[in-house]
Each structure stands twice: as structure tokens, then as C-alpha cells.
Amino acid sequence: MKINAAWLSASVLTLAWCGGAYAQTPPEEQQAAPAKDADDNVVVITAERRETNLQTTPIAASVMTGEDLENRGITSVDQLQFATPAAVVNNFGQGIDFNIRGIGKAEHNTQTTTGVITYRDGVATFPGYFTAEPYYDIARVEVLRGPQGTFVGQNATGGAVFVTSNNPIIDGGYHGYVQGQIGNFQTLGAQGALNLPINDTMAARVAFNADMRESFYDISGPYSGDDGIKTFSGRFSYLWEPSDDLQVLFKIDGNYLDLSGYPSDPVTSTSDMFEIGANADIMARDKFVRSVLNVNYELGDGTVLRSISAYQKGNTQYRADLDGTSTGNSTFRDNVDETIYSQEFNIISPDTGPFTYVVGAYYQHDEYDFLPGEFVIGVPPGVVEYTLEGTNPKETTALFGQATYDFGNGFEVQGGLRYTDAKTSNDISVNQFGLPLVQQQSAKWSDLSGKLAVNWTVDDHNFLYAFAARGFRPGGLNVPVGLGPPAPFDEEIVKNYEIGWKAGWMDGQVRTQMDVYYNDYENFQVIVGYPLFPTFGFELNVPNATKIYGAELQLEADFDDLTIDAGLGIMTSELGEFYASDPRNPAPTATIPGVGTGVAGLINFFGGCQTDTGLTIPPAFAALAPLVTPYCVNLGGRDQTYAPDLTFNVGAQYEFTLASGDVITPRINYGHVSEQWATLFQNEARGDRIEQRDVFNAQLAWRSGDIVTTLWASNATDQRYVGAINSGLRFAGPPRQFGLRVLKIF
């Protein structure tokens, strides 16, 4: 829980492990926006603000329908790491760190923006928080790898995730589904959806999801909380099409997620990770609402004018035992509001003709409100406390566009540009263990990024592409610690070079995607801890470029009754040369001639280390640049955090049709994420290493008419694995879960 930027990351410990797979959606013939068209061998992707064939779109991406999600046991964003290559999700609680190709959000706080943007129904959502929102009544999920931004709202350096729910269907009659579920840990779940025809120009859809489960943990000590989860989510959608030219789609989602708490214990603990101690209150509750208005108007020549407006408001409350034991006395609590409103405009050309384009403008205001008296670290509680209150508003304004020209004979050139202006402010008051501090500070960044691609459709079954793209992520502000306002940390720039080959085999029954990429990652944002107060952190930039490169392979095969899907990601990362002090080391107290005792400790307190160009300390301490301490570590050449060398997933199912017409379908999924590092210091003895994850999911479905009965199991081998590490605490991935669900389609 580093106190940096404006939100202590104590409020974002481990993501809600809501339980097994219950993200069932109706069959594709009832979905409003299916990911496959009438030809089942064509997968449709909408990431470029128009429907295109995935196999001839120059993007490395994984696309899954709602039915695919259910088959693979995916109910929330954290489970995507076991179904897509080069992705890893680190569960820190009500927030989430999603990294693609080693780029995302390694430092969790409000000021560090995420490099992987999640969109819900076309709108960029809360950037890393309020992420336990379940997947239900989903039409499709698209996971894009690599920098995005020349054709859509927010800029992204690592990738983007598009989650699209089912739309109402005009003249679709009354149809929908209802599903119930039971399982171990006293799991109870229910969800459903109903399409409501109004007239020949209007329709509505309502959907809901409710879950209840007891805790995974056996906690000893005088604590209170963590009695399981109780969640309810609902969605209302309204579609109006008064003419062939105009479409108005409105959706509003509400979520009440009582996640009880996120227990954890010290990372060096040798006990079972579900047998822990705690002597502080544990609590985690999210409440939020999102409304989206999507208006499309088609001109006579086929050009589409699109407006996407959104308003999102959430409140998160969190309490934790920061030392993760029943004997320590370090606690945390918070109560924080977040409000986002955004507007995007697009002009989308017709698909006909050699020249096509998308241009747009985007604005987003994202503000955190730290409520008075509700953000407190106590060591011990009530005796020595750190408190914070105030606001942290951020604004993003952008103009972007992407165009493609078809030269014939299968050759295309595609180019895009994006201008981004970002600013952030802190208006906060801090009481740092009795020392009052005030920060009224602002900073801003701007950037011109872009993409240039060359595409070649060799024939009906082979597509080649090569491109260079530049991604941008703004910097942020550090919270004041001890002496004066610290310097902001700068923006990150990612230069991505990629070549890919997409192919169809056996008359399209087998589809493959292969790509090789190289990233030049400048100004990587890291936190250097203060050894005298390890709870605090100062965020700055790695002065030399970090290199990340690798290759990916995806396969989808559909042989009528037999279906197979697989993904492979191989990645290497090398941090640029950078000196930093491990905050877990004791502060030096040596006397430096001519300066005095304790100055070396002061340097380390401010993250100071000798480098080729001087000390990496705030400018106010530049005079200390000649000093050298023995506590500096050269981190150059080390692996990027949360960047596993290997990810692999495979799934298969077979449909057995009985004489009665009933269908029995067994399916198995396996996901592997290799070992990775949680800190740049990579000290295995101190628990910096996260061991590999090997997760098996299995299910057996029996379909009889419009009823589907499914036996399911997630993490079937009951592997005990660490889902994330943060500030010396480990957070467990979910144990084995199993159950029975029954789906009725009508």
C-alpha cells in the first residue's frame, strides 16, 4: 500500500473472486451483436468503431462471444488471463492491474493511469477500480494487444478490452433466459434477461445478476468481516430506431457489490494461504452506476455520425489489516467517491470505395473525492495515524483519426494520428503522523502519437500486416511526504513495431493468428520506496528505455462437433539502466565526511541513488548529487514487473448428439501463466517472485430442448497460487469451486 499519487493503494487489494462460471448468455441467434456473422467461419471485431473481419484486420486480438465466455469459465476480467495470450491480471482488490505484453499498471494509485483501457458498451470505464463488475448477458468481449488510440476514445499503451452487452431487438418478440446456480462454499447465483418489444421502432431489454457465497478463508484473531460475498447487478437497455438512418441506444447499469473483504498474509508466510490471522476490521463494498447514450445517424452516402455520452458514479469503502497478522497493529480504511463523465464524437466513412476513415474527438473528466475523516492509516490505530482528504480531478482531451487506402491487388496502407492533452490536479490535505501537509498542485502533458501500417490480403485465406505505432500515457503527481511538494512524474511513451500473419485453413475451419512485436518503452513509471517509512513511495521514471519483445500465436478450430481454441505468448523484457534503493533495507546511518551523520539516510529517504547523470532525487536535493550510498541497486536488464515469459491456454469440447436429439457436451480448459516478478528488486527470499499459475476448468453440459443443465468446476486441481503481491502481502487466487447450473431459454 504505497502512499503515492492521491489514493493509497490499500483500497485496491485483491480483486473479488466471485466464484465459478455463471456468465451464461442466450445462444448466438438471439444476441443483438454476435461476434460471428452468418458464416460461422468469420469472426467480427468492432474495435475500430466499425464491424470488420478479424482475420483481415491488422490488430492482434482475441474475440469471444457470451457463449465462449460461459464455455471457458470467464465471469470477470481477472479470468481473461487464462484465455488470452500475453495477458496477466493482478488482483489487488476493488482495483485491478491488467497488463498486456508487460504494459498496463504496475503501480496502483489514482495518479498512475492504466495502460490497458476497459470499455463497457463503448465507454472507457473506471481506470482500474470498481472492476468486480460481473460478465452477464454479454454479446462479446474483445481483447486487443498493443497500443490503441487512433480510432477510439482513450489512449492505451498496452491494449484495450471491449465488453459489449446484448442490445434490445426490435420486432424480436419476448425472448430471453433465466439461470440458477448452486455450488460449494454455499454458492447461490441467479441471472436472466428479457427482451421487451414496444412497437415497430422501439424495444427494451432488462438483465440482472445476483450472487452469494461464503468466504474462502479461515481467519483466526479478533477480526470482524469477510463473511463471503453478496452482489446484485442490473441493466436496462432501450433502443429506438425511428428510421433506417437514426438509431438511439441507451443503457444504464447499476452494481451493488458487497465483497466482504480481501484477507491476506505476509508474503513469506509458509502456512496455507487460506488459513490466516487478522485483528482488524475487513470490509470491501462497491456501489456504482453507469449510463451510456449512443446515437448513430447515417447520411445519404453511408457516412455515420456517432455520439457516445457517458456518466459514471461510484463509491468504494474498504477496510484492511495491513500487516496481515493477528498480532500486528497496522490498519487502513477509506471511503472514496469517483465520478466520470465523457463525450466522444465519431465520423465513420462508408465501407465502400478504396478510401475509408474514422475521425473523432474525445473528452473525459475523472475526479476522485477523498471524504473527510474516511481515509486513515493507523499504526497503531487511533494512536499514530496518516489521514488524507480532498480531491484529485483529471481531464483528457483528444482529437484522433485513422484512414485506410486500398491500392488494389490486396494492398492497403493505413495511417492514424492522435493528439492528446491531459492534466491532473491535487487539492488535498494530509496529516502525516502529526505533521500537517497541504498540496495544491497541477501538471499537464500533451502528445502526438500515431500508427502506420501496410496490409496485404494475399488471397482468401492469408492476410499479412506490418505496422509501427506510438502509444502515450500521461504522468501524474506525487502526494507530499515530509518536506514540501515533490516533483511530478513524467509521461510514458511506447514505440511498438509489429508484423503479423492471419490465415484460414481447411476451408476456414481452422483460423490462426501469428505476430511478432518489439516495444521501446520510454519513461517507465516506477515507485521508489522510502526506507525510513516503507509505507510511502515516490513515483518517478526510469531514465533509460525498457525493451519488451515477443511473439504470439492463436488458433481456433471448428470441426462441427469438435471445437478447439488455443493461445501462446512468449515475451522477454529488459528494464533500462536505473538505480534505486530497496525500501525494505534499513536506512544507512554512516557519517559522510564534510556533511555529517544521517545524510545518506536522508538521500535514501527520498529515493536517492547515484547514477551516470546524478541522483534520482527531487530537484531540491540536487546539491547532494555527488554522494554515493551502498544501498543503491542497478536494476538495468531486469524483467519488467508482471511480465511472464510464457502464457499458454488451450480448450476443447465435443458435442455428442443422442438419439433423442439431446446434446451432451464435455469441455476442458487449461491456462498457464509462468512465474513473474512483483517488484523490480527481484528478491526471491523476500517474496518478490510470483510462481506460475496452472488452472484447469471443466464442465459437462446436457442440452434438452430449451433447457441446459451444466456441471462445472473451476481450478479443478485446487492449485494454491498467489494472485498478486503488494507491500509485503500475498493475495490468494481462488481455490477449487464446483457446482450445478440450470439455464432455461425462452
The stretch 235-262 carries a mean pLDDT of 95
- In 10 A of CB 127, how many CB atoms? 23
Whether residue 108 is predicted with pLDDT greater than 90 in this model: the reply is no
Q: Which pLDDT does position 656 carry in this prediction?
A: 97
Of 180, 207, 204, 182, the closest CA to residue 192 belongs to: 207
Q: What is the pLDDT of residue 589?
A: 45
DSSP H or E stretch at residue 66: helix 66-72
599's enclosing H/E stretch is: helix 599-605
Any residues with CB less than 8 A from the CB of 711 and at least 6 apart, and which? 699, 700, 701, 738, 739, 740
The per-residue pLDDT for range 627-660, each reduced to its tens digit, is 444 556 788 899 988 899 999 999 999 999 999 9
Residue 348 pLDDT exceeds 80: yes
Is residue 600 very low, low, confident or very high in pLDDT (cuts 50, 70, 90)? Answer: very low
- State the pLDDT confidence band at 107, using cuts at 50, 70 and 90: low
- Distance between CA 271 and CA 281 in Å, rounded? 22
At 727 the pLDDT is: 74
Place of cell 452477464: 136
Q: What percent of the chain shows pLDDT beyond 70?
A: 84
For position 72, what pLDDT does the model report? 87
Q: Band of the pLDDT at 19, cuts 50, 70, 90?
A: very low
What are the grid coordinates assigned to 402, written together? 485513422
- According to CATH, the superfamily of the domain at 9-578+635-745 is TonB-dependent receptor, beta-barrel domain (2.40.170.20)
Give the HSE-up count for residue 708: Cα atoms under 13 Å, Cβ half-sphere. 23
Reported confidence tier of residue 190, pLDDT bands at 50, 70, 90: very high
What is residue 624's predicted lDDT score, i.e. its pLDDT? Answer: 43
Question: Is the pLDDT assigned to residue 14 strictly greater than 90?
Answer: no
pLDDT confidence of residue 607: 42
CA distance 662 to 705: 7
Model pTM? Answer: 0.89
Return the pLDDT at 180.
97
Average pLDDT of every residue of the chain: 84
Q: What is the mean pLDDT of residues 388-410?
A: 94
Question: Please, which pLDDT band fits residue 342 given cuts at 50, 70 and 90?
Answer: very high
3-class secondary structure, 557: strand
Three-state DSSP state, 623: helix
d(C-alpha 238, C-alpha 39), whole Å:
28
Q: How far apart are CA 128 and CA 318, in angstroms?
A: 15
Question: Residue 25 has what pLDDT?
Answer: 46
Instruction: Provide CB contacts within 8 A for 659, sequence distance 6+.
Output: none
Of the candidate ranges 91-105, 353-367, 445-459, the one whose mean pLDDT is the lowest: 91-105
Percent share of the chain, pLDDT over 90: 57
**Spatial distance between the Cα atoms of 306 and 310, rounded to a whole number of angstroms:** 13
* pLDDT at residue 432, as a whole number: 83
- pLDDT for residue 150: 79
Q: Provide the b/e sequence for 70-84 (b: ≥16 CB within 10 Å).
A: bbbbbbbbbbbbbbb
104 touches 736 (CB < 8 A)? no
- Closest-CA residue to 565 (of 503, 653, 647): 653
Helix then strand count (H, E) for the chain reads 2, 46
CA torsion sign, 336 to 433 to 283 to 90? positive
CA–CA–CA angle 66, 68, 72 (5° rounding): 120
Residue 380 is predicted with a pLDDT of 74
Closest-CA residue to 108 (of 740, 735, 726, 737): 726
Residue 461 has pLDDT above 60, yes or no: yes
Mean pLDDT computed over 103-121:
77
**Position 92 confidence tier, pLDDT thresholds 50, 70, 90:** low
Look at residue 117 and tell me whether its pLDDT is greater than 60: yes
Is pLDDT larger for residue 36 or for residue 176? 176
Q: pLDDT at residue 592 above 80?
A: no
* pLDDT score for 115: 83
Inform me whether the pLDDT recorded for 572 exceeds 80: yes
Q: In the predicted model, is pLDDT for residue 197 greater than 70?
A: yes
**Cα 259 from Cα 354, distance rounded (Å):** 52
For residue 579, the model assigns a pLDDT of 76
Return the residue matching grid coordinates 481447411: 506
User: Distance from CA of residue 620 to its chain's centroid?
Assistant: 36
- CA dist 376 → 3, 112, 161, 266 (Å): 11, 21, 33, 21
Give the whole-angstrom CA distance, residue 582 versus residue 630: 11
- For residues 496-506, average pLDDT: 96
Cα(87)–Cα(327) distance, integer angstroms: 37
Where residue 621 falls among pLDDT bands split at 50, 70, 90?
A: very low
Comparing C-alpha atoms, which of 678, 676, 617 is closest to residue 645? 676
Rounded mean pLDDT, 355-373: 95
Rounded to an integer, what distance in angstroms lies between the CA atom of residue 646 and that of residue 84? 12
Q: Across the strands, what pairs with 234?
A: 208, 254
The predicted-structure confidence for 275-333, as pLDDT tens digits, reads as follows 999 998 888 899 999 999 999 999 999 999 999 999 999 999 988 888 889 888 888 88
Could you tell me the pLDDT band of residue 111, with boundaries at 50, 70 and 90? low
Contact 135/69 with Cβ under 8 angstroms? yes
What number is the average pLDDT over the span 184-198?
A: 97
The span from the CA of 680 to the CA of 268, in Å, is: 17
506: CB partners within 8 A, 6+ apart:
none
- Closest CA relative to residue 55, chosen from 555, 462, 420, 372: 462
User: What is the per-residue pLDDT across 290-302, written as a single tens digit (0 to 9) for each?
Assistant: 999 999 999 999 9
DSSP 3: B
pLDDT at 458 over 90: yes
